[in-house]
Amino acid sequence: MPNRLFSAVFGIAIAVVALAGCSAAVGGPTATPTAAETPFAPTPTFSPSPTPKISASPTPTEGKPAHSDERGVWENVAAQIDEIAGLKKPVAVKVRPVSQKGLLEQALALAFPQKAKGEEEVLKAFGFLPPQANLQEIRRRLVSAYLPLALYDPDADAILLSGRSRGGESTLALAYAEAYADAVASHLAVKAPVCKDDDCALAAEAARVGYASYIAERWFSEYAAAERYARAAQVSSTPQPSPDVPFALARDWDFPQEYGFTFMLGLSRRGPKALTDALKSPPVSSEQVMHPARYPSDEPIPVALPSAQALASALGKGWQEVGRGVLGEWHTYLLLTAALPEESRLLPHTASAAAEGWGGDAYSVLSNGRTHALLVDWRWDSNADTNEFVRAFVRFARGRYGPLRGRACCALFWEGNGCAGVLRYSGKERRAVWAEAPTREQAESLLKLADAPHP
């Protein structure tokens, strides 16, 4: 899937949660998983300072921000965050006022910097997007629902502030704290290696957003008096996405903040240096973000697929590849819990257990302009992990295609909803390969090219 797929560019909701590790919920069923359902390691405990320190600036009169004092608020907040982050040299960023419309357009450009070829078709092929949905309209609804008062623009190295702040000086301080924490994270991560696949890019984005969220949370705990914070959060809270936003996209949008914050909170037990090290050498897979104990040693298994031309030729005339990449543990989990049709969705704890043994993967999506085909080659950590995934996939496939139509040694076959699905697997090889195409013959052609497990 495309780089930074649905990553939250600002990542930190103004209605912030306590450092115990809760996250802002996204609309839709099971938007905030319970401890039993959550597919990452248990959240480490953290005890915030019992007595918040009051900002040196005088207590403002809510609703009457003074423009002449705004620079003082910015400088005060920046100095406090620099201290929390342990910076020897402050991050110098400009502050630019923009209109609400201008902020929205820039947020869209930052969250989705480029239109990948076939991106919408890839999402529809996996069931993350309904067939008739318009991706651009959904993105605009998502960004509009979470639009903050301020955000950091890395291209301009500036914090964009939407007009006069609502709710007074404390609201301005909160908005600026979030944006400045993002600026600090971006500056620290500027020399990080460039990712070669979309799952790696999502993991790196989660580390950046998670660090910014962690630093902002520390600032809330140490410098924002409880009554001022509660009032500001109430004034500046934003609505949830509309029900028109597909569940998979809403959950995916929340990944960088929800899992990135937990990742950084887990690393905080190793000391402050571990946090900045994770920005300079970020996690390389969503698996490492979801399971901080696996960072940095548990690296993905590289998986090579046949060429795009070979796969298209195997399907027949008129086919072409529209996208390829890496699902990762997160999108494997999302496939099992949030894809369409709804009948295919598994319970979070079942999908979590099935995806947790992820070792690596690669996917390709192809189209002939009318319908799609796909190929996913997963590698697993053990024989047991392979078998657990296969059992979960059988339940997922029943909802996607209908009843199982046939089975053979290490192969399962389904047909329904206008397409055929075949899964070939081997516990010995720790591998499962899924092909979907209009006919079983075409699906088998893809599997043969991929040298999928066979009797």
Interval 50-61 mean pLDDT: 35
Beta-strand ranges (E) seen in 234-392 are: 320-325, 358-367, 372-380
SS3 (DSSP) at 412: strand
What was the pLDDT predicted at 223? 86
Q: Is the pLDDT of residue 167 over 50?
A: yes
The pLDDT tens digits of the residues spanning 396-451 come to 999 999 999 999 889 999 999 999 999 999 999 999 999 999 999 999 999 999 99
Which tens digits make up the pLDDT trace of 312-352? 999 999 999 999 999 999 999 999 999 999 999 999 999 99
Q: Above 50 in pLDDT, residue 2?
A: no
- Residue written as token pair 């990712």: 195
Compute the average pLDDT of residues 301-305.
Answer: 98
Nearest 10 degrees: CA dihedral of 180, 183, 188, 190? 180
Q: Which of 421, 298, 286 is nearest to 352 (CA)?
A: 286
**Interacting residues of 384 by C-beta distance below 8 A, sequence separation 6+:** 357, 427
Predicted pLDDT at 228: 59
Q: What is the pLDDT confidence band of residue 233, given thresholds at 50, 70 and 90?
A: low
In order of their start, the domains of the chain are 67-293 (no CATH), 308-449 (3.40.1000.70)
pLDDT-derived band at 277 (thresholds 50, 70, 90) equals very high
The whole model's pTM is what?
0.85
Q: Does residue 242 carry a pLDDT above 80?
A: no
